[in-house]
Structures are given as C-alpha cells and as structure tokens.
Amino acid sequence: MIKPSPIILAALLALFAGAAHADISVRDDDGNLITLKKPAQRIIAMAPHVTELLYAAGGGDRIVGAVSYSDYPAAAKLLPRIGDNRQVDLERVIALKPDLIVVWLHGSSARQVDLLRKLNVPIFHSEPKKLDGIADSLIRLGQLMGTENVANAVAADVRGQFAALAQKYGKRSPVRLFYQVWDKPLYTLSNGSIVSDAMRLCGGVNVFGALSVTAPVVGVEAVLQEDPEAIFGTSEKNYGGVNLWRQYPGMQAVKRDNLFTLDGELLNRAGPRMVPGTAALCEKLDVARQRRGN
C-alpha cells in the first residue's frame, strides 16, 4: 500500500480543515448575499412568520428574541420580546448579542431595519411572495443555522403538500373573490402577496389582484362594482367581518351565501401553516362552485 507523502498529507488536512470552517453564504429575498463564518447560534426573529420558519427549520433553540405576536409554536410565547412591528428596543437587541437577525419589511419597518444594520450583525430579509418560497426559505435558513437535515426534510414535505393541493384544485373552474384583510379601513391584498398565490393554486381569481400596492385600501363601492362571487375575511383584525356585506343583498357573494371566514394566521403568515390555510381556502372555493346552481 502506497502511503501519501507528508506534504500531500498536510495539504489534505489543510483542505479538510478549511472545508470544516468554510463560510456559509445564501441570498435573502432581496437578493442580498448573507455570509456567516459559522452557523448562527443567536437569532432574533423580526416577524411572527419568521419565528415559525426558524422553528420549522430546526432552529427554535437558536432564537434569543422575537417581536410581539410570535406565538407559534407554543414555545415561541416564552421568547424574550424585543418590540413589535412599529418599534424595536435596540438596547434589548444589543444585550441579546445576536449573530443573525431575520427581518420582514413592511410599511413602518424600513427605519427600524436601517437602525439594525448599524449594529453590523448579518441581516436576512424574509418575504416569500410565492408558496414555493416557503420551502426555499426553510432551506436557506437551515443552511444559515446548520440544520439542513431538518430544514430540507420539512421543505420537501411542504412542497409535496402544496403540489397535492395544486393537483386537486388547480384545474377547477375559476371563482372571482374578494379577500378582506381588515374592514376599518377596508383593505385587501394584491397579486404581490403570497396569499394571492394561494388563491391561484385553488382556482381563485383576486378581483383586486392587478393593483400595484401589495396591501391596498379599497372602497365599498369598488367591491360592489367588482361584484365578487365569494368574499373571504379572517378571524382576527376585523370589526364587522364579512357580515358587513349582508346589507348589500344584490351582491353575488351575498345571494349565494358565499361569505367565508378563515383563520388568518394560517394564510397571512408565510410559513408551513399556509398548507392547511390554503387547503381551507380551496375547500371554501369549492363550496362556492357547488352553490352556482342554487
């Protein structure tokens, strides 16, 4: 048996040592390259959906801080709070010594994220716009945490379940719908939202999908003019809910009793729970199809 020379052996050892300590690099949802010297151990989650993604990717024990409403899974309720979607306690963030911050950009968050960037802590922007982006997010977060085995398995399962829903519902007749996020003021979601991707999978057509703003405010008259076949509201963040439309008996959705309420946490958070949320949406759209003959 030929033994490698000491020089070759030393080179191989150096190569393996370098591979063991290689940088971890992934791109976030803005396309920015995020590079870590080693797997993240202390992570701050700046949105409820981020918290859910981190837990699902096998990194729940790495989260040292989260924002308000990060309440799933149950263990997330015990996480230290660093603020909410409007204000972050920077001193608290610094004290927690994060080595990765996962953020979500919304209307009032840009200033907060700018402040966080001054801490020189790697920042990963999470904002899946398509259902497949959930699995992709799990994989990338798993890479950043060194939990690829868990993350990749969960990602494959999520993809498989969405594929099964698409196979079942994707070719059914379209249903024009209005998705009511809030009713004071009345606003909805356009095709820029991941929720609209769930609608498309189910055969739904978002009547305000073409609007340029992701979460536009719309008027009652605009909804009446569109005359959707079905109206969906969520179980939270509504004062009157979908029942406010019952005062307009001439609407298709009212005449056919296609006023549906869904669990918003299952649809408005871009995490694995969008699978059952999308399934519920698909089922209700099927009810609307069945009522066409009534």
Domain end, chosen from 105, 131, 155, is at 155
The rounded mean pLDDT for the chain is 90
In tens, the pLDDT along 236-275 reads: 655 668 999 999 999 999 999 999 999 989 999 999 999 9
Q: What is the pLDDT of residue 201?
A: 97
> Given phi > 0 = left and psi -120 to 50 = alpha, else beta, which region is 257?
left
Q: What is the pLDDT of residue 203?
A: 96
**Are 20 and 138 part of one and the same domain?**
yes
β-strand pairing of 123-125 with 100-103: parallel
Does residue 106 form part of some domain? yes
Query: Which range of residues forms the domain containing residue 188?
Result: 169-293
Evaluate whether 140 touches 26 at the Cβ level (below 8 Å).
yes
**Are 92 and 218 part of one and the same domain?**
no
- Low-confidence residues in the chain, pLDDT < 70: 1-21, 85, 106-109, 236-240, 294
Length of the chain as a residue count: 294
Q: What is the pLDDT of residue 10?
A: 54
- Please choose, from the candidates 162, 193, 165, the residue with its C-alpha nearest in 3D space to the C-alpha of residue 179: 193
183 three-class SS: strand
Does residue 227 form part of some domain? yes
- The Cα 161–Cα 223 span in angstroms is 32
CATH number at residue 215: 3.40.50.1980
Q: What is the pLDDT of residue 18?
A: 47
Domain end, chosen from 111, 131, 155, is at 155
**Are 16 and 103 part of one and the same domain?**
yes
Q: What is the pLDDT of residue 15?
A: 52
- CA–CA distance from 263 to each of 40, 203, 215, 234, 260 (Å)? 32, 19, 18, 6, 10
Q: What is the pLDDT of residue 55?
A: 98
In tens, the pLDDT along 17-36 reads: 444 557 999 999 999 999 99
Q: What is the pLDDT of residue 150?
A: 97
Does residue 163 form part of some domain? no
- The Cα 188–Cα 232 span in angstroms is 10
Q: What is the pLDDT of residue 106?
A: 65
Q: How many domains does the chain have?
A: 2
- CA–CA distance from 146 to each of 54, 58, 102 (Å)? 12, 9, 15
118 three-class SS: coil
**Are 11 and 148 part of one and the same domain?**
yes
Does residue 243 form part of some domain? yes
**Are 174 and 275 part of one and the same domain?**
yes
**Are 10 and 151 part of one and the same domain?**
yes
**Are 66 and 143 part of one and the same domain?**
yes
Does residue 139 form part of some domain? yes
Does residue 160 form part of some domain? no
92 three-class SS: helix
- Please choose, from the candidates 287, 283, 281, 282, the residue with its C-alpha nearest in 3D space to the C-alpha of residue 268: 281
**Are 35 and 79 part of one and the same domain?**
yes
Q: What is the pLDDT of residue 293?
A: 73
Cα 215 from chain centroid? 15
**Are 93 and 45 part of one and the same domain?**
yes
Specify the pTM: 0.88
Does residue 109 form part of some domain? yes
**Are 175 and 134 part of one and the same domain?**
no
**Are 192 and 137 part of one and the same domain?**
no
What would the two tokens of residue 135 be? 């699995």
Does residue 21 form part of some domain? yes
**Are 151 and 177 part of one and the same domain?**
no
Paired strand residues for 206: 177
